[in-house]
């Protein structure tokens, strides 16, 4: 039980470190739908982002629809910061990028999401606070908001249908951030139950071999060592969890248990 507690604590710590590692904030300007806020929060946490700033959400805050859509990413919504305008929302960030479907009439550099993520990573690694700004669903970012940024992020899209939902735009940028941050493959222990320890695994193997002995599986005798090694290696590669070991031991017990007599 003590080992289980330690492993569970380590699992929670790994999740926390992944979720709250230095990363850019997402600033949503006047989002209209709670569902889009929740969807953005969910995809943020998927890709290692956790800092959310909301400027005048149309339907108020907190929002039940946002919470329902976040589906497990409630921590992002609970820690979200509210601001009255983009100036207040962006005040503490030294480098800000604005996501917009089309470059405005300005001299700001235009970056792809991948180049933007690389620029953000470079600055965050230097200790700077950075943010990505997203506009309202209906009309996107206003010129005044864009002009508070240091660059524009333009997603390569079909020119005949260039408008992205705000949560979809967030997903594109969050994914590129994950690549830049080295999270191409999420750590396996973030999603899996703790693997069985060696004592649990060896207990299962001993029980299995005893059952195979009783069934006279190991034949001829001179091949027994090689057969045992192959079986043990196959199960070791499976990286069985504690629950899986318990299930398999129950299966063996059921198979060797004498059938009831009438």
> Which residue ranges make up each domain of the chain?
18-185, 198-256
Measure the CA–CA gap between 105 and 34, rounded to whole angstroms: 31
Measure the CA–CA gap between 131 and 150, rounded to whole angstroms: 10
* Amino acid 108: pLDDT: 87
* Amino acid 11: pLDDT: 42
* Amino acid 14: pLDDT: 46
Measure the CA–CA gap between 150 and 95, rounded to whole angstroms: 6
* Amino acid 193: pLDDT: 67
Q: pLDDT 10s digit of each residue in the chain, 262 long?
A: 444 445 444 444 444 455 568 999 999 999 999 999 999 999 999 999 999 999 999 999 999 999 999 988 999 999 999 999 999 999 999 999 999 866 556 678 999 999 999 999 999 999 999 999 999 988 889 989 999 999 999 998 888 887 789 999 999 999 999 999 987 554 544 445 678 889 999 999 999 999 999 999 999 999 999 999 999 999 998 889 989 999 999 999 999 876 666 5
CATH code of the domain made up of 18-185 = 3.40.1280.10
* Amino acid 4: pLDDT: 46
pTM: 0.66
Residue 138 has which token pair? Answer: 């209906």
In a 3-state reduction of DSSP, which class is residue 94?
coil
Q: How many other C-beta atoms can be found within 10 angstroms of the C-beta atom of residue 245? A: 20
Please list, in sequence order, all residues whose beta carbon lies within 8 angstroms of the beta carbon of residue 220, skipping any fewer than 6 positions away: none
* Amino acid 2: pLDDT: 45
* Amino acid 139: pLDDT: 80
């Amino acid at each position: 039980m003590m080992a289980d507690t330690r492993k569970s604590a380590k699992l929670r710590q790994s999740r926390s470190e992944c979720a709250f590692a230095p990363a850019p904030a997402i600033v949503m300007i006047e989002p209209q739908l709670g569902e889009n806020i929740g969807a953005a929060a969910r995809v943020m946490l998927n890709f290692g982002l956790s800092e959310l700033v909301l400027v005048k959400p149309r339907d108020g805050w907190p929002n039940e629809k946002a919470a329902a859509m976040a589906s497990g990413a409630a921590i992002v919504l609970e820690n979200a910061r509210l601001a009255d305008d983009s100036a207040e929302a962006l005040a503490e960030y030294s480098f800000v990028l604005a996501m917009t479907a089309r470059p405005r009439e300005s001299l700001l550099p235009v970056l792809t999401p991948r180049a933007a993520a690389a620029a953000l990573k470079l600055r965050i690694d230097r200790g700077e606070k950075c943010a990505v700004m997203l506009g309202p669903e209906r009309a996107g970012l206003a010129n005044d908001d864009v002009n508070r940024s240091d660059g524009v992020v333009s997603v390569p899209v079909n020119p005949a249908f260039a408008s992205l939902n705000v949560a979809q735009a967030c997903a594109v940028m969050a994914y590129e951030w994950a690549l830049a941050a080295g999270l191409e493959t999420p750590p396996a222990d973030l999603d899996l139950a703790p693997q069985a320890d060696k004592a649990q695994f060896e207990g299962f193997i001993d029980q299995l071999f005893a059952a195979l002995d009783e069934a006279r599986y190991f034949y001829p005798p001179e091949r027994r060592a090689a057969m045992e090694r192959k079986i043990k290696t196959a199960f070791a590669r499976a990286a069985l969890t504690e629950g899986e070991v318990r299930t398999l031991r129950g299966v063996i017990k059921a198979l060797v248990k004498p059938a009831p007599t009438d």
